[in-house]
Amino acid sequence: MQKRNSQIKQSILKLSAVMCLLVPLHASAAVKLSLSGIGDPSVYGFGAKGLFLGGHFSSNTLNHQYTNWSWSDVEMTIEENGNASISGNMTRDYNNESWGVNIALSDIEFRRSSGNYKADGNFGGNVGQQTFLDLASGINPFTGTDRSQQSGWGFEWKNLSLTLDKNGNNSSVPETGWEGFAMPDMGHPLVAELHYDGDTGLTFEAWYKNPTTDSWYDVGDTKTLATVKSAGVPEPASMLLLSLGLLGLRAKKRHLTN
């Protein structure tokens, strides 16, 4: 009986050691960014406070208090497959109403500083957290080249959906039906961009349209600063397996020294 217990114990020790070697330290999210308005719309353009929604893009509506919402508590989460989500709270300029905003992004591309797109497309889920940390530092994550003196390069998305939460506020602004608005003639062939800018650093921009509404609010724009908030942390299951593995190695060491 004692011999059998010893064999079982040795088997458990071996299994624990193998688990320690095999456990993946997988991050549940690639990176989280904090988004806030880039500044004055008259200087930086439509959406520079966070969100612009109006009937058209014109100088008359650029800085109007009815068409601008200020972002101050909005977070962007980018998954390892390149898909991203944006959620948080914003304040409407003309009456300080609190609204909610949610954006979903998919089908990612990488645009080089030359303006061309990386040939292998959407990377097949091979976008890790270090990729975006490099971008935030002005480094091309695929070549390691310093591009901090150049602007207009980084990640872009082909698909976008935007939903608003008016929190019971009385407004004609539609909450749903918003989709990405590509403007290739304006230099924006895709619908959203997380670019490095030589002057301001990491910036997020997106363009919206709402073809389902007769409301005056049917186009939109976003320009914000993006700041790295946190990188992904190991999943609880991975940490548990790692802990078991380390305990197994410690027990095995003690067994060998006894």
Going from N- to C-terminal start, the domains of the chain cover 2-24+236-257, 31-231
Question: At residue 30, does pLDDT exceed 60?
Answer: yes
Give the pLDDT band of residue 11 (cuts 50, 70, 90).
low
Q: What is the pLDDT of residues 137-164, one digit of tens each?
A: 999 998 899 999 999 999 999 999 999 9
C-beta atoms surrounding 124 within 10 Å: 9
pLDDT of residue 25: 44
Question: At residue 253, does pLDDT exceed 60?
Answer: no
The contacts of residue 137 (CB under 8 Å, 6+ apart) are 148
Q: What is the pLDDT of residues 70-85, one digit of tens each?
A: 998 899 999 888 899 9
pTM for the model stands at: 0.78
Question: At residue 8, does pLDDT exceed 90?
Answer: no
